[in-house]
Chain A
Amino acid sequence: GEDVEQSLFLSVREGDSSVINCTYTDSSSTYLYWYKQEPGAGLQLLTYIFSNMDMKQDQRLTVLLNKKDKHLSLRIADTQTGDSAIYFCAAPWGGKLIFGQGTELSVKP
């Protein structure tokens, strides 16, 4: 089955770029997703990328997809304290949506 892996923690300074990485095992997913979870809340879709794209840019967010290595990354430019949250990558597989462990991003002033 699909397995999605992320590192658990990332700490950056305000104004720096943040890069959150994700690896997956099944390359048949049509889309790959990034969700954001703020403290005490449910998850919300942040951005997504089609599997036939290598890169997608949306304001401060850049998603890179390396299909050969089955590697997905989310870059947040000019990271702000309001970006502190848990970020999950997710992949559809077998009628289900499979999530990684989540990366907790801490932004220090």
Chain B
Amino acid sequence: DIQMTQSPSTLSASVGDRVTLTCRASQSISVWLAWYQQKPGKAPKLLIYKASSLERGVPSRFSGSGSGTEFTLTISSLQPDDFATYYCQQYNSGVWTFGQGTKVEIK
């Protein structure tokens, strides 16, 4: 099975900061990677699909990049609503695998 590893596990940042989250796959997944935001008690919300495509309605301060095994999610200017946990997910092979999550908290 493909393993997904996110770093860091926790990120402390301030409003207005530029933040970058990393996700690594144990083998190549081409561009079949999604990023989700999850807040307590809520279902995950899709932000980015196919590694770099912004889901409709998601603010443009979110961007994704990467291919193969290395991927990043960047928030260009952190907003109060962005403090949450972020998950990457591969969907290359019909089997989904998620990273363990990165919690973005207020510094």
A binds B: no
Listed in ascending order, the chain B residues whose CB lies under 8 Å from chain A are: none
